[in-house]
Structure 1
């Protein structure tokens, strides 16, 4: 019996190659931005968006220098790499970028790690810690009415606040 040849499968990204592509924050932001758009976007618009994230400001507050720095990196390095792996369709001449079929493999990984709201939970825990530390410090210094509350009262308050924030985080991340 002669061996049967299977048709070659199209090149798919290995997991290592995919992680290599997603290792760079700019490339992740490009994919996230494009997934929310119906069609191709202008390179300038995309660069402005990424620059706004990197500089923690609104897109209309991005300076020319900030946008140009990002645009140059996207144009020369990131978009060609993503296009080579069929993650984006990149028309260099027209300066237009859109998601390609290969982007589908990236989306599950991006969904798992890029939820910005989840990254802010440390701030909530810090507020709770401050809300407990200040009254305890005032009580230790003997400042009324804080000194009148027993230590157990502050322990119950701290435990309750941290439990409430933990439950809120667990519900949010479901």
Structure 2
């Protein structure tokens, strides 16, 4: 997680701590607010934001959201979630006209979340398995075990280097374009 920027908290100015970030993003609605605002260059009004978040939560298109469904989300955003994000310095919430936008600190905030489905393995486990496999292969070459001796030390050094490099590039791509809020696929309205 990367945190940059300053947060104005009354007379105190300071950076957000990781605890502050985890507290703010511990709620799905606040993550959806951040995701929606991060994709926009201009302020969003309460009506649009609550409609979008309701649509994602219900798995429907925004135009299918009814007043009663939206009202509950609108109320929780207005009374709790947006003030909490405003207090943390992530969003600017104008209660008067209902406009919401990311602050400079919010724009500079990169939030990485690694989510893993049942058929995937987490990156940490992948790198552990990769390094263990490479270590065992090098040990097998050192002990002179066939078929590992078909390649010399230089070839194995190349194989290990290429495997590490390609894996690191894949992780870099995944962390920059798939695991960040406000980047990648737009939250689905339909599951």
TM-score w.r.t. the length of structure 2 is 0.53
SS in 1 for 2:16: coil
Q: Which of 26, 32, 35 is equivalent to 2:35?
A: 32
Whether 1:113 and 2:135 are equivalent positions in the alignment is no
- The alignment covers a number of residue pairs equal to 115
**Structure 2 unaligned spans of 5+:** 1-11, 121-169, 176-191
Q: Over alpha carbons, which structure has the higher Rg?
A: 1
Of 34-43 and 96-105, deviating more is: 96-105
The match for 1:80 among 76, 80, 83 is 83
Gaps of 5+ in 1: 1-8, 125-169
* 1:14 Cα offset (Å): 1.0
State the Cα distance separating 1:84 from its structure 2 match: 0.8
1:20-99, aligned counterparts within 5 Å? 20-99=23-102
Compare relative contact order (CA 8 Å, sep 6+) and give the higher one, 1 or 2: 2
Q: Is the 8 A contact 2:38 2:107 kept in 1?
A: no
- Contact (CA 8 Å) 1:40, 1:97: kept in 2 or not? yes
Deviation at 1:57, TM superposition (A): 0.9
C-alpha deviation, 1:123, in angstroms: 8.2
SS in 2 for 1:57: coil
SS at match of 2:13: coil
Instruction: Report the RMSD for the aligned CA atoms in angstroms.
Output: 2.6
> After TM superposition, which residue ranges in structure 1, 4 or more long, deviate above 3 angstroms?
121-124, 170-174
Bigger proportion of residues as helix: 1
Q: Say which of 18, 31, 35 aligns to 1:15.
A: 18
* Separation of aligned partners in 1, 2:77 and 2:52: 12
Q: Secondary structure of 1:82's partner?
A: helix
